[in-house]
């Protein structure tokens, strides 16, 4: 059987013991400075700064920059208005009743447990509920939202804006174009019943989660106007109004996001509806499947970064999208469905590929 042992180091020349890295040095006055280590220089995190617990009938929140990617806990709150105007790592919410809640971009997961009668606006990578009842959520979620042992759940598309929000999405590693808000997976479906549904298309965020009333939180310049939302408002899985859809794909560049938003504005102003959006990396082999005979034209552009795809729906969508691209984006490479006959297949090809890439 082996044994562990240590050997005392020999004194350094002059009889001094060797000092650990970062140990103190003598000052000009002969005094010894206290050693400093890297862990001494880290900012101390007080869990109380990242917790709301046991509150009743209060309005509370955190301003931009006050959470800065930390984890947050909300628990045992009743009749409260809660606003987290910053990005975070994860957020858990336990035993909250009749609360109105805004949660800024969450890099990881948000988990609601044993909550009921709450109205929320949430942006996250992963969304999950367990043992919840009657939650109404305006949601942006990069992956498929999951509910478990939950009933009376209603979902709508995230609609919110304040000046710091775009950078917070970036800091949380979330794309404003990856939002599967309506593609809910129910782990515990009940036979003959539906535990979840969609909020009315006419639902207004401010009617569910009003703007904060406290003087401190009023400093955040908020808009709940859907046309200003940092997240493009999509129809999701709602029934389409037309049999005709069109796919438009922008390639990576300095103005990809701005160009995509511009096309959304142009098409929406003409009465066409944005069904879904996606931002995803593509390879050459993917291009052949999605772009088919046009693949060789677009393959070199894929090396620049992810593409942004938009699906528009409405009678005449293909013709109007082609016309808008030619008029507004004449100097920009954009893939657009070539005909009404091929458009539906273009949409299916792209989004089936994108869902596989994102593990959905």
- Higher-pLDDT residue of 286, 182: 182
The pLDDT of residue 35 is 67
The pLDDT of residue 268 is 96
- For the chain, the average pLDDT equals 89
Question: What CATH number is given to the structural domain containing 170?
Answer: 2.160.20.70
Tell whether 300 and 161 lie within a shared domain.
no
The pLDDT of residue 193 is 86
Residue 12 banded pLDDT, cuts 50, 70, 90: very low
In a domain, 254, yes or no: yes
Asked if pLDDT for residue 27 goes beyond 70, the answer is no
Asked if pLDDT for residue 360 goes beyond 80, the answer is no
Tell whether 262 and 337 lie within a shared domain.
yes
Tell whether 52 and 134 lie within a shared domain.
yes
* Strand 100-113 to 116-130 pairing: parallel
First to last CA, the chain: 52
Asked if residue 13 belongs to a known ligand binding site, the reply is no
Residue 15 banded pLDDT, cuts 50, 70, 90: very low
* Structural domain that includes position 112: 47-207
Asked if residue 235 belongs to a known ligand binding site, the reply is no
The pair of structure tokens assigned to 347 is 């949409």
Alpha-carbon span 127 to 184, nearest angstrom:
10
Asked if pLDDT for residue 216 goes beyond 50, the answer is yes
Q: What is the DSSP string of 298-345?
A: HGGGGGG--EEEEEEESTTHHHHHHHHHHHH-TTS-EEE-S-HHHHHH
Tell me how many domains the chain contains: 2
Tell whether 190 and 328 lie within a shared domain.
no
In a domain, 280, yes or no: yes
Asked if residue 127 belongs to a known ligand binding site, the reply is yes
Tell whether 199 and 312 lie within a shared domain.
no
The pLDDT of residue 353 is 85
In a domain, 5, yes or no: no
Residue 88: CB partners within 8 Å, gap ≥ 6? 67, 69, 70, 71, 72, 103, 104, 105, 106, 107, 172
Asked if residue 14 belongs to a known ligand binding site, the reply is no
In a domain, 72, yes or no: yes
Tell whether 185 and 269 lie within a shared domain.
no
Tell whether 338 and 293 lie within a shared domain.
yes
- Higher-pLDDT residue of 254, 55: 55
Tell whether 134 and 250 lie within a shared domain.
no
pLDDT digits (tens, 9 = 90+) for 142-164: 999 999 999 999 999 999 999 99
Alpha-carbon span 100 to 59, nearest angstrom:
9
Tell whether 149 and 258 lie within a shared domain.
no
- Higher-pLDDT residue of 348, 157: 157
In a domain, 109, yes or no: yes
Backbone angles phi, psi at 18, to 5 degrees: -65, 145
In a domain, 111, yes or no: yes
Asked if pLDDT for residue 98 goes beyond 90, the answer is yes
Asked if pLDDT for residue 29 goes beyond 60, the answer is no
pLDDT digits (tens, 9 = 90+) for 236-268: 999 999 999 999 999 999 899 999 999 999 999
The pLDDT of residue 42 is 52
Q: Looking at residue 46, what DSSP letter applies?
A: -
The pLDDT of residue 101 is 98
Tell whether 308 and 248 lie within a shared domain.
yes
Q: Which of 249, 248, 225, 354 is nearest to 304 (CA)?
A: 249
Helix ranges, the chain (H): 38-41, 165-171, 205-208, 256-269, 284-291, 295-298, 317-328, 340-357
Tell whether 183 and 63 lie within a shared domain.
yes
In a domain, 6, yes or no: no
The pLDDT of residue 21 is 47
Residue 355 banded pLDDT, cuts 50, 70, 90: confident
Interval 298-304 mean pLDDT = 93
Question: What CATH number is given to the structural domain containing 292?
Answer: 3.30.70.141
Asked if residue 128 belongs to a known ligand binding site, the reply is yes
In a domain, 123, yes or no: yes
Tell whether 56 and 165 lie within a shared domain.
yes
């Amino acid at each position: 059987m082996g044994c562990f042992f240590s050997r005392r180091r020999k004194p350094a020349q002059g009889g001094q013991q060797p000092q650990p890295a970062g140990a103190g040095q003598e000052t000009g006055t002969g005094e010894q400075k206290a050693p400093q280590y890297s862990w001494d220089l880290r900012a101390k995190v007080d869990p109380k700064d990242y917790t709301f617990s046991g509150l009743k009938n209060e309005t509370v929140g955190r301003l931009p920059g006050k959470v800065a990617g930390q984890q947050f806990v909300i628990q045992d709150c009743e009749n409260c208005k809660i606003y987290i105007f910053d990005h975070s790592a994860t957020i858990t919410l336990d035993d909250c009743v009749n609360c109105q809640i805004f949660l800024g971009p969450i890099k990881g997961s948000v988990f609601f447990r044993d909550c009921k009668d709450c109205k929320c606006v949430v942006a996250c990578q992963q969304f999950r509920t367990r043992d919840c009842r009657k939650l109404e959520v305006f949601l942006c979620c990069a992956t498929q939202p999951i509910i478990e042992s939950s009933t009376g759940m209603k979902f709508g598309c995230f609609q919110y804006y304040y000046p710091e929000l775009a950078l917070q999405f970036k800091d949380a590693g979330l794309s404003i174009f990856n939002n599967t808000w309506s593609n809910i997976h129910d782990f515990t479906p009940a036979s003959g019943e539906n535990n979840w549904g969609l909020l009315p298309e006419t639902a207004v965020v401010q009617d569910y989660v009003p703007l904060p009333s406290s003087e401190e939180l009023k400093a955040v310049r908020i808009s709940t106007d859907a046309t200003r939302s940092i997240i493009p408002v999509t129809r999701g899985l709602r029934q389409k109004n037309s049999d005709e859809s069109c796919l438009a794909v922008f390639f990576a560049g300095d103005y990809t996001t701005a160009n995509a938003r511009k096309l959304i504005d142009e098409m929406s102003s003409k009465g066409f509806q944005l069904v879904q959006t996606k931002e995803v990396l593509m390879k050459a082999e993917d291009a052949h499947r999605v772009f088919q005979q046009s693949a060789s034209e677009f393959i070199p552009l894929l090396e620049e970064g992810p593409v942004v795809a938009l699906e528009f729906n409405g009678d005449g969508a293909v013709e109007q999208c082609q016309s808008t691209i030619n008029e507004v984006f004449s100097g920009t490479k954009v893939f657009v469905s070539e005909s009404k006959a091929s458009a539906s297949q273009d949409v299916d090809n792209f989004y089936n590929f994108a869902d596989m890439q994102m593990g959905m």
